[in-house]
């Protein structure tokens, strides 16, 4: 089991950007819900940052039985309770609602789970008006390097008056980071063999525990076939017909499996950007894996040499940037929305972030020498949407340079420091 493998590692706690947002929320709201994929660090954060809360995990069978039969008993002796893996006992949520209402919000609850409870309709409806939701992702490059202040550069870029001087920084090759992945438990692993064993155990645990707990899967083999098929499609517009054809799994089943992968936070879907919100719904989304290391492993690239030759390398790079963008969006109040933009004649901008009436357009290019040619689509977008604060080109080189008065090119890692 993957947890057994982890127990042999010396895990070092590293602070996360999202912690201040959670601490602020629990002061104002009776319930905070934290979701995220398995092993992104939810339990570790809660046990290290909220020591004044009673902590229980429904991974413990006895506690799970107690939660299902008498959920109110979990908080008899405390006003501050963390319930980890809370999705395993849906009976809890009605009880928490009753407790919150009866105590007029005096009791505080933090609920954590590896399934996206915001997508679990019955649960989110039960706690409507009482809970705020956060999603945790794997670690950013900066968090891994113990740079735990919020990414001020990212926040400053929303201000059209913000300027930065051109300079050259250290060259930081993104490929080793993408290949290894950004899960906290990977930090202690230095041997490539151990990293491969970790991902193998992660997928085995996910299939045998999370998938079987969430739904009745007729065939884990078919489910794994769909999972492998979409791994090479990360960073691309989702075409369920193609997935069905390539895997031999029916379209309705592919649709159900993709929904399950989304609920368990393995993938996310990024909608297309249109001023009309109805059009956003009708256009196909882009699919992204939660961690580039996961889709790279599933795609069969086990070493740097094979990964550097991969035709999907640019999409894996985009997936890594997507992860960082989603993490940064959680730091804004309200959270920034993330889209992609594509015209009918094929012009595309990888990411459009929307915060109120402001837009930030972001392109990714796996090149060390970005040129004016690389920002043509950004220029088209800014011309069509002049409310865009600025455009940004994130690349694999070392130069910070202005390619246009509203478009900054910068190394992929610089924005998150």
Please write the tens of the pLDDT for every residue from 46-88.
999 999 999 999 999 999 999 999 999 999 989 999 999 998 8
**pLDDT band at 2; cut points 50, 70, 90:** very low
pLDDT score at 346 = 82
Report the half-sphere exposure of 312 (CA within 13 A, side-chain side): 25
Bridge partners, residue 36, by sequence: 136
Question: What are the φ and ψ backbone dihedral angles of 178, each rounded to 5 degrees?
Answer: -60, -40
Average pLDDT of the segment spanning 219-245: 95
Q: Which of 126, 132, 88 is nearest to 109 (CA)?
A: 132
pLDDT score at 6 = 43
Alpha helix (H) residue ranges in 232-348: 240-247, 251-263, 277-282, 292-298, 304-308, 313-329
Can you tell me whether residue 379 is helix, strand or coil? helix
Residue of higher predicted confidence among 389 and 276:
389
Q: Which of 135, 44, 115, 42 is nearest to 330 (CA)?
A: 135
**In the structure encoding, which two tokens stand for residue 320, read together?**
């890594």
Q: Which of 173, 182, 171 is nearest to 144 (CA)?
A: 182
**In the structure encoding, which two tokens stand for residue 82, read together?**
């963390």
Q: Which of 312, 356, 301, 353 is nearest to 334 (CA)?
A: 356
Q: Which of 416, 191, 152 is nearest to 303 (CA)?
A: 191
**pLDDT band at 281; cut points 50, 70, 90:** low
Q: Is residue 101 pLDDT above 60, yes or no?
A: yes
pLDDT score at 11 = 59
Candidate from 27-31, 328-332, 350-354 with smallest mean pLDDT: 328-332
Q: Is residue 1 pLDDT above 70, yes or no?
A: no
pLDDT score at 41 = 95
Q: Which of 171, 199, 173 is nearest to 185 (CA)?
A: 199
Residue 112 burial by Cβ neighbours in a 10 Å radius (0-12, 13-18, 19+): buried
pLDDT score at 85 = 92
CA-to-CA distance for 236 and 238, rounded, in angstroms?
6
Query: CA torsion angle for 385, 390, 395, 398 (degrees, to 10)?
Result: 160
**pLDDT band at 214; cut points 50, 70, 90:** confident
Bridge partners, residue 390, by sequence: 360
* pLDDT tens by residue, 110-163: 999 988 876 677 777 888 889 999 999 999 999 999 887 777 788 888 888 888
Average pLDDT of the segment spanning 169-175: 95
CA-to-CA distance for 230 and 167, rounded, in angstroms?
39
- Is the backbone peptide bond immediately before 334 cis, with ω within 30 degrees of 0? yes
**pLDDT band at 280; cut points 50, 70, 90:** low
* Stated pTM of the model: 0.92
pLDDT score at 4 = 44
Candidate from 11-15, 290-294, 310-314 with smallest mean pLDDT: 11-15
Domain 17-137 -> CATH class:
alpha beta
What contacts 269, CB < 8 A, 6 or more positions away? 238, 262, 285, 286, 287, 288
pLDDT score at 217 = 76
- How many CB atoms are closer than 10 A to CB 43? 18
Domain extents in the chain? 17-137, 143-416
CA-to-CA distance for 376 and 379, rounded, in angstroms?
5
**pLDDT band at 10; cut points 50, 70, 90:** very low
Report whether 272 contacts 147 (CB < 8 A): no
pLDDT score at 310 = 97
**pLDDT band at 354; cut points 50, 70, 90:** very high
Q: Is residue 9 pLDDT above 70, yes or no?
A: no
């Amino acid at each position: 089991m993957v947890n057994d493998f982890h127990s042999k590692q010396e895990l070092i706690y590293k602070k996360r950007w999202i912690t201040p947002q959670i601490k602020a929320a629990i002061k104002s709201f009776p319930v905070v819900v934290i979701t995220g994929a398995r092993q992104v660090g939810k339990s570790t954060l809660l046990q290290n940052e909220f020591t004044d809360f009673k902590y229980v995990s429904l991974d413990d069978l006895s506690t799970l039985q107690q939660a299902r039969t008498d959920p109110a008993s979990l908080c008899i002796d405390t006003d501050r309770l963390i319930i980890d893996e809370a999705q395993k006992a849906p009976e809890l949520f009605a009880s928490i609602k009753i407790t919150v209402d009866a105590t007029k919000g005096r009791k505080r609850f933090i609920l954590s789970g590896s399934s996206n409870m915001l997508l679990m309709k019955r649960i989110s409806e039960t706690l409507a008006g009482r809970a705020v939701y956060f999603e945790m992702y794997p670690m950013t490059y900066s968090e891994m390097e113990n740079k735990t202040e919020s990414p001020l550069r990212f926040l400053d870029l929303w201000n059209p008056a913000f300027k930065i001087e051109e300079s050259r920084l250290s060259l930081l090759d993104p490929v080793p980071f993408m290949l290894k992945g950004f899960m906290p438990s990977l930090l202690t692993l230095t041997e490539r063999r151990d990293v491969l064993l970790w991902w193998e155990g992660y997928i085995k645990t996910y299939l045998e525990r999370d998938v079987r707990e969430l739904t009745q899967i007729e065939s884990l083999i078919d489910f794994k076939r769909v999972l492998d098929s979409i791994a090479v499609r990360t960073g691309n517009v989702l075409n369920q017909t193609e997935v069905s054809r390539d895997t031999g799994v029916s379209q309705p089943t592919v649709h159900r499996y993709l929904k399950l992968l989304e609920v368990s936070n393995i993938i996310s879907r990024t909608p297309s950007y249109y001023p009309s919100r109805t059009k956003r719904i009708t256009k196909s989304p882009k699919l992204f894996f939660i961690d580039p290391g996961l889709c790279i492993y599933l795609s069969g690239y086990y070493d740097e040499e094979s990964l550097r030759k991969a035709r999907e390398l640019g999409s894996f790079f985009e997936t890594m940037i997507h992860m960082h963008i989603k993490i940064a969006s959680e730091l804004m109040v309200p959270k920034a929305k993330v889209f992609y933009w594509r015209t009918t004649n094929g012009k595309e901008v990888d990411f459009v972030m929307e915060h109120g009436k402001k837009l930030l357009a972001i392109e990714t290019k796996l090149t060390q020498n970005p040129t004016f040619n690389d920002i043509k689509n950004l220029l088209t977008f800014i011309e069509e949407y002049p409310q865009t604060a600025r455009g940004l080109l994130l690349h694999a080189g070392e130069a910070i340079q202005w390619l246009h008065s509203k478009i900054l090119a910068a190394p992929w890692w610089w924005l998150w420091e």
